[in-house]
Structure 1
Amino acid sequence: MCMLQIRYQPNSPLVLQGISCVFEGGHKIGIVGRTGSGKTTLISALFRLVEPTEGRIIIDDLDITSIGLHDLRSSFGIIPQEPTLFSGSVRYNLDPLSEHSDHELWKVLEKCQLREAIQDKKEGLDSLVVQDGSNWSLGQRQLFCLGRALLKRRKILVLDEATASIDNATDTIIQKTIREEFEDCTVITVAHRIPTVIDCTMVLVMKDGKVMEYDKPTKLMNEPASLFAQLVNEYWSQHKAS
């Protein structure tokens, strides 16, 4: 088996130095590691924002380089670190291709706890969203992205440090909704806040572009020498200090 290697320029050092692991369908996978460990590069490779130098990514027996970029990317749901909103209405931001009924949109807004905020506005679903969504709070913008993912209903959902810069209350809403609504889906979470991966099925721990550990979080937590246990302890000690 050829392990996944990635470099950004032909003569530059490898950013991913030979990764090999299997994500089981329906599992919740947490990806953790300090800054520069290769987490973002791994997700970029999944979306083919960067192509492998060596190795392959296979999804459902299909090498992802064998299908078109649009088909590949539209088969994932994503809640990114920086929520992307467009100039237009609430309706357009949730459902840009007009594939869903108003009833479906309201149902999704209810699930993301945005329904009240939008009902309070006179225009409802036609309420304005300015470019980048700056007339909505950061938490609300992230919940819009969650709503979009709920409407798309893809079998694979990627959270790219989606809760890194939002308040704990919004983080809790997102985690709870994902647990309930994406129960049968494969959810890949690149985690900034370590507690968000504690209830994952498996945790992939990265360092210097390599996989250091890949196991159940509870098992790694019970091994004091594990890098995951170290990251958890660091997180909590920083949290207490702040």
Structure 2
Amino acid sequence: DPVMFDGTIRGNLDPMNEYPDSRIWEDRIIQEIIRQEFKDCTVLAIAHRMNTVIDSDLILVLGEGSILEYDAPTKLLQREDSTFSKLTKEYSQQSQHFKSSTAMHRMGSY
């Protein structure tokens, strides 16, 4: 049977025990590990921070239980009427860290 994880969350994030707890539990580190370890997998991420999903292949935006939009983030960012685009612009104004994300660089929006 397929197994997504084996053992503890910490053990899956740092199987070689290379990093101290203070580094393991940083969101940025967790996202890097997920992207690296699951690069050939389908990952369903439910997120409230844009930097968690901006580099995804596809984005599904839900609103009041309905699908609002579904496409590649770069395509959604090109549409000014896109909910994802509006949320991204709002988020980027509030977060300096977000400006370094891959999708924003691809769009030249930084």
TM bucket normalised to smaller: 0.5 to 0.7
Match of residue 82 from structure 1: none
Q: Superposition pairs for residues 153-168 of structure 1, below 5 Å? A: none
RCO higher in structure (CA 8 A, sep ≥6): 1
Taking only the aligned residue pairs, the percentage that are identical comes to: 40
Per-residue CA deviation, residues 58-81 of structure 1 (Å, 9 max, x unaligned), is xxxxxxxxxxxxx9xx9555xxxx
2:15 pairs with 1:108: yes
2:37 pairs with 1:181: yes
Structure-2-length-normalised TM-score: 0.67
2:81 pairs with 1:212: no
Match of residue 159 from structure 1: none
Match of residue 197 from structure 1: 53
User: What CA distance in whole angstroms lies between the structure 1 residues aligned with 2:3 and 2:36?
Assistant: 20
The residue identity in structure 1 corresponding to 2:54 is I
Q: CA deviation at 1:172?
A: 1.6
2:82 pairs with 1:230: no
Q: CA RMSD, aligned part only? A: 3.1
User: What CA distance in whole angstroms lies between the structure 1 residues aligned with 2:95 and 2:36?
Assistant: 27
Q: Superposition pairs for residues 107-186 of structure 1, below 5 Å? A: 108-110=15-17, 113-114=19-20, 143=25, 170-186=26-42
Q: Classify the secondary structure of the residue corresponding to 2:67.
A: strand
Q: CA deviation at 1:185?
A: 1.7
User: What CA distance in whole angstroms lies between the structure 1 residues aligned with 2:67 and 2:4?
Assistant: 23
User: What CA distance in whole angstroms lies between the structure 2 residues aligned with 1:222 and 1:174?
Assistant: 28
Q: CA deviation at 1:109?
A: 4.4
Q: Superposition pairs for residues 25-40 of structure 1, below 5 Å? A: none
Q: Classify the secondary structure of the residue corresponding to 2:29.
A: helix
Which of the two has greater helix per residue? 2
Unaligned runs of 5+ in 2: 97-110
User: What CA distance in whole angstroms lies between the structure 2 residues aligned with 1:207 and 1:231?
Assistant: 13
Structure-1-length-normalised TM-score: 0.33
Per-residue CA deviation, residues 162-182 of structure 1 (Å, 9 max, x unaligned), is xxxxxxxx1221111111111
Q: CA deviation at 1:223?
A: 0.6
Match of residue 8 from structure 2: 94
Moved over 3 A (4+): 74-77
